[in-house]
Amino acid sequence: MSEGKELFIEDLKLALRAAALAYDRRRFVILGSAAILATHPDAPSFLRLSADIDMFPLRKLDTTDFQFGDEQVGQASEFEVEHDFYIERLGDWTMLSQPDGWLGRCAKYDTSVEVDGRREVVEGFCLMPLDLAYNKLEAGRDKDVNFVAGLLTEGIITQGDLEGFIAEGCPHEELMPRVLRNLELVKGVMSSS
């Protein structure tokens, strides 16, 4: 299906509404590159390019609840065909090694959806740029390294702030070498640009 498209704030709204209906939940954490839309909706297109919007409901889903939703809005769904991106439902486990306080630092982005003839608020909690950078440094895939390099190059975050955030916030000592190694890869990408 989609190899990625430039996402806009309207896509985030659409994803939140669709997820609310598909999973019958009203509060979602948005992580991955689409989280940048809440704080920097006009970020350069290369930072908003994605085939999916990664999110998970704040209240856990029963295993019987999420399959139907995944079929409605996930990869290879009609939603993806119509909108050229899909919703990648993750689990709260993706945040287990995130620095403490990440949820309180999230940028809140709300929209609404009509359910049974009434409007209901749908809340999106989007990772802030430093939390997003940390999360991507931990993952360390090429696309993650390039994304963090883009955040730095565009001045959305600073290298000093990121290094301080890592030093003060890395919750598990065993993760520090990987995060720092990936930060060095980011610096290499930036110096070769």
Q: How far apart are CA 72 and CA 190, in angstroms?
A: 39
For residue 163, name the pLDDT band (cuts at 50, 70, 90).
Answer: very high
Instruction: Collapse the DSSP code of 153 into the 3-class scheme (helix H, G, I; strand E, B; otherwise coil) and give the result.
Output: helix
The rounded distance, in Å, linking the Cα atoms of 9 and 24 is 22
Contact 131, 105 (CB under 8 A): yes
Task: Say which amino acid occupies 98.
Answer: Q
What's the CA gap between 90 and 71, in Å, rounded?
Answer: 14
Q: How far apart, in Å, do the first and last CA atoms of the chain sit? A: 31
Q: What is the pLDDT of residues 86-129, one digit of tens each?
A: 999 998 888 999 999 999 999 999 999 998 899 999 999 999 99
Q: Going by C-beta distance under 8 Å and a sequence separation of 6 or more, which residues neighbour residue 56?
A: 28, 29, 31, 89, 90, 91, 92, 94
97 burial (CB, 10 Å; 0-12 / 13-18 / 19+) is middle
CB 6 within 8 A of CB 48: yes
66: confidence class by pLDDT, cuts 50, 70, 90: confident
Say how far apart CA 168 and CA 101 lie, in whole Å.
12
Dihedral of CA 89/144/102/100: which sign?
Answer: positive
Position 62 confidence tier, pLDDT thresholds 50, 70, 90 = low
